[in-house]
Amino acid sequence: MTTTSPTTSDEASGSAGPPRPPGRWSTLRPLILRLHFYAGLFVAPFLLVAAATGLLYAASFQAEKTVYAHELTVPDIGERKLPISEQVAAARQAHSEGSVAAVRPSPADDATTRVMLSGVEGIDEGHTLAVFVDPYTAKVRGALEQYGSSGALPLRTWIDEFHRDLHLGETGRLYSEFAASWLWVIAGGGLVLWFSRRRARRKLRGTSGRRRTLGLHGSVGAWVAAGFVFLSATGLTWSTYAGANIEDLRVSLGQTTPSVSASVSGGGEHAGHGAAAGAGGDAAHGVGLDKVLAAARAEGLGDPVEITPPADASSAYVVAQVQRSWPEKQDSVAVDPATGEVADVLRFADYPVLAKLSRWGIDLHTGSLFGLPNQIALMLLAASLILLILWGYRMWWQRGRGSVFGRPIPRGAWQQVPPLLLVPLLAAIAVLGYFLPLLGIPLAAFIALDVVLGEIAHRRGRRTYAGGAAGRR
């Protein structure tokens, strides 16, 4: 529900309303409240960055269409598109550097063809130079650096990398994994706290000050909590450590994403075609691009598609659909460059269940699956997260008394939890911490520090507990 440091006066003091009889929930609630408060307090800065950059990324899809309209669209729609081989030849005449890594034929009447070149000087490793060609006239309309399977151009690439790693490389990716690891914990804890409060205490009308801030924080958080859990789960799938654990789990379950075999030497097992993205010269191998594209069309591969030239003499052309919007088009075929015959076919319908869910989840997370409505929903989620963080810090400020800034939640809540509940809870946390190390390690460090500080305070006679007065153990 919440993504920062929400606390409530009635939650902390318990002065309002008749006391409830002790039970499992009454012992767990202070513990969840303390975890929610401190997790939100210290994780919120990371979440604020992730939310702000995520909002920008969701908006970048539409901005990209405007900023690069000249390269992406044709000035006039002609009667017939030229053969793809002629378009590639025009691109190579204008840009002879590097080699052809892939070709994306014009997917719409007003769209240009992209010819992607790898090994071009000045282009970042892992990126390509996309040459945009008018499919009706073969005139080159420009060239831009491109990144990723979604074909991100410089504006979206910059924002994407800022959101993913703050332009700090692999080290910077830890920030986003840390935020994603804790987002679902804070959201889930806040949601539980909100719905555990009395209905009368959730009202906004007629309230003011801290109670009104709490009402806004809780009400908005309750509405968007499911969205935060989804963003957290899907974001972790391609993180550094948690992502590797998720991939290992998928491998053990036989649920990895398959790929069409690019080998023309026979093998029937889908062995992946990453190697087929190597140097392809001018992509004029064997039967050529036109017959390869025709063979893929005959197998039912409609636009948009990407053609990857053979990596070597034993490899095939790979033609893959690249539509990430609903309905997904992810079918792919391998075409023998010597004969022009289809050597292997892989249908998206045949993907394992987890592979499909992963594809849909990533595309929904990035705003591709449902286009503009998807992007607007993501921007609203990001804006909600920013507001929740600001409201959370405001509540912390309003919780102060006199010169005290933001009184913390009293410690010792875990001591009130019965062992029969505490032991399974700790075991579940340990398992989660193993699979999500950037959740488990900081949580273990916080617990250790909290225990040490609590003992120091106890020895000085100033120890306080969530459920009692100072000095009581």
Buried b (16+ CB within 10 A) or exposed e, 180-214: bbbbbbbbbbbbbbbeebeeebeeeeeeeebbbbb
Same domain, 344 and 311: yes
Same-domain check for residues 56 and 73 = no
Residue 241 structural domain: 9-60+166-247+371-417
Of residues 114 and 4, which shows the higher confidence score? 114
Is the same domain home to 73 and 121?
A: yes
Boundary of a domain, candidates 130, 152, 174: 152
Whether 137 is in a domain gets the answer yes
The reply to whether 397 falls in a domain is yes
Whether 106 is in a domain gets the answer yes
92-to-130, 139, 249 alpha-carbon distances in Å: 11, 11, 44
Least confident of 190-194, 238-242, 444-448: 444-448
Whether 182 and 36 map to the same domain: the answer is yes
CATH of the domain at 130: 3.10.450
Helix axes 209-236, 353-366, angle to 10 degrees: 130
Question: What span, in angstroms and rounded, lies between the C-alpha atoms of 97 and 70?
Answer: 23
3-7, 77-81, 157-161: segment of lowest average pLDDT: 3-7
| pLDDT reading at 174 higher than 60 | yes
**Is 429 contained in some domain?**
no
Does one domain contain both 50 and 197? yes
Domain end point (choices 109, 126, 152) = 152
Average pLDDT of the chain, as a whole number: 85
| 205, 289: one domain | no
Whether residue 442 is contained in a domain is answered as no
- Pick the closest to residue 133 from 59, 60, 175, 74 (CA basis): 74
Residues 183 and 313 in one domain: no
Within a domain: 266: yes
Predicted TM-score of the model (pTM): 0.84
Task: Give 344's contacts (C-beta < 8 A, 6+ positions apart).
Answer: 260, 261, 262, 268, 270, 316, 333, 334
The model's pLDDT over 17-37, given as tens digits with 9 standing for 90+, comes to 455 445 566 677 778 888 888
Report how far residue 344's alpha carbon sits from residue 299's, in angstroms, rounded to the nearest whole number: 11
310 and 238 in a common domain:
no
Cis peptide before 327 (omega within 30 of 0): yes
In a 3-state reduction of DSSP, which class is residue 6? coil
Would residue 239 count as lying in a domain?
yes
Do 194 and 120 belong to one domain? no
Task: Say whether both 376 and 230 belong to one domain.
Answer: yes
Specify whether 292 is located in the same domain as 329.
yes
CB neighbourhood size of 415 (10 A): 15
Question: Does 316 fall in a domain?
Answer: yes
> Who wins on pLDDT, 141 or 195?
141
| Reported confidence tier of residue 462, pLDDT bands at 50, 70, 90 | low
Q: How many domains does the chain have?
A: 3
End residue of a domain, out of 152, 185, 210: 152
Distance of CA 307 to the CA centre of its chain: 27
Confidence (pLDDT) at 316: 96
User: Are 56 and 170 in a shared domain?
Assistant: yes
